Amino acid sequence: MSDYVIVFTAYLDERKRPEGFPRKVKEVLTARFDRLPDLVDFVNKRHQMYIQSKGMGATLDKVDLDRLGITETERVWIPERMIAFTTVVIKNMTGEVPQVDPEGIISMPSGKEIVKN
């Protein structure tokens, strides 16, 4: 079982990009998969979701948030007509990623003890 960081990047059509808006926006996700085909299936389904939703929810960088005066959220909705193309970068995370249960207790999937400083 491996943990991955999956970055979907949408590059905006210059003719439709609002003035001052970034040229690209990202949706960054983390997920755990047992098998590589499951990861590929996840990426394909995510793209299908963007197509069906006719757009993409994305995250703006802190610099863009400040420049655009957005303070309450870092997420924006990009309609499909503004997107020229998308790319996906997948990175395998090394080591274990701590999990947080509904009560807020942090644990390692392997059961290894977490040392608190």
Mean pLDDT for the stretch of residues 87-113:
80
Least confident of 37-41, 67-71, 94-98: 67-71
**100: phi then psi, degrees, rounded to nearest 5:** -115, 125
Alpha helices in the chain (DSSP H): 36-53, 62-68
Higher-scoring residue by pLDDT: 33, 99: 33
Contact 31, 42 (CB under 8 A): yes
Q: Among the ranges 13-27, 35-49, 72-86, which has the highest mean pLDDT value?
A: 35-49
Measured distance CA(32)–CA(35) in Å, rounded: 9
- Angle at the Cα of 90 (from 84 to 94), degrees rounded to 5? 155
Q: In the prediction, which pLDDT does 65 show?
A: 53
**115: phi then psi, degrees, rounded to nearest 5:** -90, 125
Q: In the prediction, which pLDDT does 83 show?
A: 94
